[in-house]
Amino acid sequence: MRVSVSNLAGEATEEDLRQLFELFGSVTSVTMHRSGARCIVDMPSRAAAKEAISGLAGQELLGHEMEVEVAREPGKGGAGSARGGRRRKRR
């Protein structure tokens, strides 16, 4: 299960996040986004990922309160996504 973590301190590393999430179970990968303020953590166990979400949401890491939630699947944005909705044909 993919878990999105945002509002990270600029000094936070992939290893910091891996160690935190491994308290709840196995971690497949940690991918930091270029901004450094957000990352995706992949966990093979859905139950462990859900425990990590409830256990880490709102907790501080390096002075920043983390926002932790289930990551949206790529390309599955909502109405406000950058991809937008279906276009109508002009008549």
pLDDT digits (tens, 9 = 90+) for 50-75: 999 999 999 999 999 999 999 987 76
Q: How many residues does the chain have?
A: 91
Mean pLDDT value across residues 39-55: 97
- In angstroms, the CA 80 to CA 49 distance is 26
Say whether 54 sits in a helix, a strand or coil: helix
Q: Would you say residue 89 has pLDDT above 70?
A: no
Q: What was the pLDDT predicted at 49? A: 97
Tally of CB atoms within 10 A around 41: 27
- In angstroms, the CA 44 to CA 42 distance is 7
Mean pLDDT value across residues 20-49: 94
- In angstroms, the CA 54 to CA 6 distance is 14
Q: What was the pLDDT predicted at 73? A: 78
84 token code pair: 């937008």
